[in-house]
Amino acid sequence: MTVITSTPGPSRRARLASPTGYLAPVVRSEWLKLRTTRSTWWTAGVAGIVSVTLGALHCRSIASATHVPQGVDALGASQFGLTIGQFVAAVAGVLIITGEYSGGTIHPTLIATPQRTRLLSAKVLVTASAAFAYGLILAITSFEIGQAILAPHLHVALFTALTIRRLLGAAAIFLAMALLGFALGTLARRTAGALVALGAALVLPSLLLSVLKAATRQNISRFLPLRAAEALVQRTPDASTLHPLAALGVLAAEIAVLLTAGAILLARRDA
């Protein structure tokens, strides 16, 4: 009589975490898509140059003044142009998913990875990693160029807790904007609709709050995406903004809600 024994396989968590697990190949595939899309790199390069240049010009205008005002935020001045790059990151987040629908590549993608939650997780990991790295490079580059321009008048050390926190905060805004765009793109599936939703999510709440009393408007506006993002890079938090850690939590929660809704819809509807 032969006794057949079975050895339990690795847990689902172990498979996902393993380099040869179920998630790693999908992440590699999504990274390959992003890396081989030339338009993404051209756009990121142009946006990066514009962002850094605007910051340098702003620092130059401060340095060329006859009397440099006291209390000038030198780091903030160098980061002046990063809004351009952050907007591009948000649009890129939209296009990462809507481009697959418009180009028809979503069908073979879903055939290759029928587990849609796994596919979405891989896309989120790649998008978040690329956006954070891109934002950090731009933030540090802008800072160094700004310091070279402002050095005779103002000096900010790079390796201080405040500087590092603000530079990481700037990179976190890139990450948040990219994931916000990605989540809205997952929900809308169409580029135009997702971009309209992105603009509405960033601008419309502030317009709606303008009809409220000042105190109420201030209490609510702190939780809006743009205000929360602003708190991440502020030199000194004030009453109108959240503490940086609280702001980071608010942004993470808002994006998590949108991503969860997108994952549910992606799992339920046809491509």
Q: Rounded distance, CA 81 to CA 98, Å?
A: 27
| Residue 14 within a domain | no
Stronger pLDDT, 39 or 127, i.e. the higher one = 127
| Residue 77 within a domain | yes
Q: What is the DSSP letter of 190?
A: S
Is pLDDT of 15 > 50? Answer: no
Length of the chain (residues): 271
Q: What per-residue confidence (pLDDT) applies to 126?
A: 96
| Residue 4 within a domain | no
Q: Rounded distance, CA 203 to CA 256, Å?
A: 20
Residue owning tokens 């790693």: 24
Tell me the CB-side half-sphere exposure of residue 76, using CA atoms within 13 A: 10
| Residue 7 within a domain | no
Question: Confidence class of residue 8 from pLDDT cuts 50, 70 and 90?
Answer: low
CB pairs under 8 A, 24+ apart, for 64-73?
Answer: 68/153, 68/154, 72/154, 73/235
| Residue 115 within a domain | yes
pLDDT tens by residue, 152-170:
777 788 889 999 999 999 9
CA neighbor of 194 nearest in space, from 265, 119, 117: 265
Sign of CA dihedral 68, 69, 71, 76: negative
Q: How many other CB atoms are found less than 10 A from the CB of residue 246?
A: 15
Q: Rounded distance, CA 204 to CA 22, Å?
A: 40
Q: How many domains does the chain have?
A: 1
- For 146, the domain range is 24-268
| Residue 222 within a domain | yes
pLDDT tens by residue, 223-263:
999 999 999 999 887 777 889 999 999 999 999 999 999 99
Is pLDDT of 125 > 60? Answer: yes
Q: Rounded distance, CA 243 to CA 165, Å?
A: 12
| Residue 139 within a domain | yes
Question: Confidence class of residue 80 from pLDDT cuts 50, 70 and 90?
Answer: very high
| Residue 252 within a domain | yes
Question: Confidence class of residue 191 from pLDDT cuts 50, 70 and 90?
Answer: very high
Query: How distant is the alpha carbon of residue 187 from its chain centre?
Result: 17
Sign of CA dihedral 21, 23, 29, 35: negative
Lowest mean pLDDT among 49-53, 61-65, 219-223, 236-240: 236-240
Q: Rounded distance, CA 255 to CA 198, Å?
A: 12
| Mean pLDDT score of the chain | 87
Specify the pTM: 0.87
Using CA atoms, how far residue 229 sits from 115, 122, 159, 245, in Å, is 33, 24, 22, 11
Over residues 207-217, the mean pLDDT reads 84
Residue owning tokens 């602003």: 230
